[in-house]
Amino acid sequence: MQTTLTDSAKEAADILNSGGVVAFPTETVYGLGAGIDNPEAIRQLFHAKGRPGDNPLIVHIYSLEQLADVADEINPSARVLIERFFPGPLTLVLKKNQLVPYSVTAGLETVGVRCPANLLAREFLSHCSSPVAAPSANLSGLPSATSWETVFEDLQGKINGVLRGKPSSIGLESTIVDCSGPMPILLRAGAITLEQLQAVLPEIALNIVTNEAAPPKSPGLKYPHYAPKASLILVHANDRITIGPHSAYIGISSPPEEFSLAKICPNLEEYGRELFSFFRHCDAEGINVIYCELPTNTGIGRAIRDRLIRASGSH
């Protein structure tokens, strides 16, 4: 299959509208899109990523009017979040309506909905003839792609097109809040922080797994994620570390040892933006071990911690 690279949102949408699978930029990470009304394209999308069929996809819309095509019931907590944070790096889990096929929701009665803020994403979505189902545009299990070049590396020859935009400005996947039940629940931390959510919805709960045997609330959370080939060692700012050969470091504090490859970020936003591309860079450089500073569980630190813990396989 030939993968068309384009800078035109309209051309990318035309490819999707004729049944293709097309990657596009968003402010969180790049997405891999297929029309929700095209079962064959959805099937190809799962196949291209190597994604397990029981992991549901987020549906992307460009305007609030399109919400009615996707979700059936928008309760008061969902309304508050939509008003405050749409468009942006937030996904809401809502009761799905009958236009959304079970192949998109992996059999669930709920659907994840997101309206990205990125203007090229919105222009692309506005030219698409239906809402667009899109997971992150990386091979399943690898770090999410935050640039079109990375998408191309992973998926060249497996998808129909890539809409080339700028590198993702946030670099971490969207915050996910489940608003389909009586109580809003934070399912995945992201750039919209728990503190920001609590400011408008004080009753929001954390997704604490109390019964391991129960089906996971967000099916994707049970799969290995974001992992580079190198092993990760999670460290704190003042830890003493003795490094071996082919080691790298990323964090916001200066490491106590001299690394040949190190990224010291001026703040947590930059840490989040650079994390996945640093993982991939380390793999390309043949790094064996990446030392990653574990931020505290506040602000966007919560999302970085979550990705680091899951990427290290230590959850």
**Does the protein bind ligand TXA through residue 88 (CB under 6 A)?**
no
**Does the protein bind Mg ion through residue 28 (CB under 5 A)?**
no
**Does the protein bind ligand TXA through residue 97 (CB under 6 A)?**
no
> What's the rounded Cα separation, in Å, for the pair 224 and 108?
21
Task: Name the β-bridge partners of 92.
Answer: 113, 177
**Does the protein bind ligand TXA through residue 31 (CB under 6 A)?**
yes
The one among 25, 112, 161, 228 contacting ligand TXA by CB under 6 A: 112
The one among 87, 131, 135, 161 contacting ligand TXA by CB under 6 A: 135
> What's the rounded Cα separation, in Å, for the pair 66 and 78?
15
> What's the rounded Cα separation, in Å, for the pair 171 and 115?
16
The one among 23, 93, 100, 179 contacting ligand TXA by CB under 6 A: 93
The one among 8, 17, 55, 97 contacting ligand TXA by CB under 6 A: 55
DSSP 92-118: EEEEE-TTS-HHHHTT-SEEEEE----
**Does the protein bind ligand TXA through residue 110 (CB under 6 A)?**
yes
Helix (H, G, I), strand (E, B) or coil at 132: strand
Sequence letter at residue 223: Y
The one among 13, 23, 111, 185 contacting ligand TXA by CB under 6 A: 111
The one among 99, 139, 221, 289 contacting ligand TXA by CB under 6 A: 221
Cα separations (Å) of 216 from 17, 55, 222? Answer: 33, 11, 7
The one among 26, 150, 247, 312 contacting ligand TXA by CB under 6 A: 26
DSSP letter at 220 equals G
Phi and psi torsions of 13, nearest 5°:
-65, -35
**Nearest-5° angle of CA 187, CA 193, CA 197?**
80
> What's the rounded Cα separation, in Å, for the pair 91 and 263?
30
CB of 117 to ligand TXA, least distance (A): 11
Chain positions 117 to 136 lying near Mg ion, rule: CB under 5 A, are 136
Residues that bind ligand TXA (CB under 6 A): 26, 28-29, 31, 55-58, 91, 93, 105, 108, 110-112, 114, 134-136, 173-174, 176, 187, 218-221
Q: Which residues contribute to the site for Mg ion (CB under 5 A)?
A: 136
